[in-house]
Each structure stands twice: as C-alpha cells, then as structure tokens.
Amino acid sequence: MKAIIIDDEKRARHLLSNLLTQHCTSITSINEAQDLASGVDLIKTTKPDVVFLDIEMPNQSGLDILKYFPNNIDFKIIFVTAYNQYAIEAFKLSAVDYLLKPVDTTELKEAVTKAEEAIKANNLNDQLNKLRDSLKQLSIDKIALEIPKGIMFASHNDIVYFEADGMYTNVQLIDGKQKTICKPLKHFVEQLERNTMFFKCHRSYLINLKYVDELVKDDGDYLLMNNQKRIPISKSKRDQFLEVIKETFL
C-alpha cells in the first residue's frame, strides 16, 4: 500500500515513517507533507491507499480534509492527534480509526491492518460520511478557534465575549483565559448568527448574553459582564438589545 503522512512537525513525520518502515511491511511507499493544502495536492498526484493525518496543524485542522473531498474518498484516513477530546468523540461515534501521539507500535500495526481490510471491503466512504455526521452533531455547541498550535474547540457556553483587534479577535473565556485568533470579528459574527445568545452590541464586540450582569446608563451606556469587564453598547443597538433580552429572558 502507498501511504502519505501529513503533519506540520518534521520530527513527528519522520518518527511515524520509521515505524511504518520497520513494522508495517504492507506499506511499500511513503510520502510526506507539512500542511493540509500540500497534502491534498500530494493525494491527488500520488493516489495513496492510506493517509496518516495530524489534526492539530496551523492554519487548517486535519478535519478540514473532508471539505476537499466532499463526495468520494478512495483512500483510508487514519487520524493522528496529541489530544483532542472533541475529535476523539467524533471518531468513536463514527468508528473512524485514530492514533494518539506518541504513536504506539502495536496500535499502529492494528490500524494499518484495519485499513487493508477497509480497502478490500470498499467501505471507505461509509465511515467518513458517518464522521461528517458526527462532527456536525458535535459542532452544534462548539466553535473552532484557530490558535498558534492548532485548533481549539470551545463550547459556546465557555465564551464570554469576542473583541475585535484589527484583523484579529480576542476571545474571552469563562475560565479567565483569553485567546487571540487570527480571524476578524466578522468571521465569528457570521458563524454564530443563528445562536440567539450572542449579540453584537458594538462594532468591536460580540457578547454572550448569558454573562451580562447589568446594562449601565451612565456617561455612555455600557454592559457590565460577569467578569466586571465594561463593554460599550452602541446607541443604535440599545433598543435591539432590550428587545432581545425581553424575548430571551423575560
């Protein structure tokens, strides 16, 4: 079988390649890619039988591969992750194979054997369609935050507010931590437009109504969040805010 390893960490690629060479004799050729985009190009040109795909990569999550092959996938995907509970839950729901880093030799051999069986049974698309459904189901209350070391999946309830910072967005979490994401605020406004608990009270802020403690009518109206952060509310948004509060909580 022909294999491709997609991982942004060179050392991780080489370690996995060595394990495959030493312990999986059915793998006859191995190519490597350092990001998803180049990996997809490599898939299209080399036509692999199995792809070992890291999840936590800069710019794009390995899970995004499903977007590049929306209709038909004729290769087996084995996801590799350091630790991503959200993704692991989806894999378990859909019976898709995954390996935890550092990769265990026995588990690797089992995954390759299962890949051979899946290829012979020609049920590759059935599993991945189940994975799509599982990810969609789990994403109802999750949002992907692209952090420097990969992708963080946060529950909507864990987000207090989003704050615009030029072409970046600061995300304030309920545990007090703040993440700076290389996406503009508009990106999150569009993603959460169907969630009535999020309200754009100002051109620079998207807030979670759950964590608003008070509307203060002072020298310029502002919202007092549960972490004591004062967030301005535009005059043009004030009436809409009161209406939303009335519909949601009263």
> pLDDT tens digits, residue range 152-210?
888 888 999 999 999 999 999 999 999 999 899 999 998 888 778 899 999 999 999 99
Domain 2-140 CATH (choose: 3.30.70.3270, 3.40.50.2300, 1.10.260.40, 1.10.420.10): 3.40.50.2300
- Which has more pLDDT, 29 or 131? 29
Distance of CA 229 to the CA centre of its chain: 28
How do strand 159-165 and strand 212-216 relate by DSSP bridges? unpaired
Dihedral sign for Cα atoms in the order 57, 62, 67, 69: positive
pTM for the structure as a whole: 0.56
pLDDT computed for residue 22 by the predictor: 96
User: What is the token pair recorded at 96?
Assistant: 């898709």
CA distances from 102 to 43, 105, 244 (A): 24, 9, 48
Architecture of domain 155-249: Beta Barrel (2.40)
In the structure encoding, which two tokens stand for residue 64, read together? Answer: 């995004």
pLDDT for the residue numbered 241: 92
Determine the Cα–Cα distance for residues 225 and 235; give it in Å rounded to an integer: 18
The domain locations on the chain are: 2-140, 155-249
**Helical (H) or strand (E) element with 18:** helix 10-23
pLDDT score of 245 = 84
Provide the b/e sequence for 147-170 (b: ≥16 CB within 10 Å). Answer: eeebbbbbeeebbbbbbbeeeebe
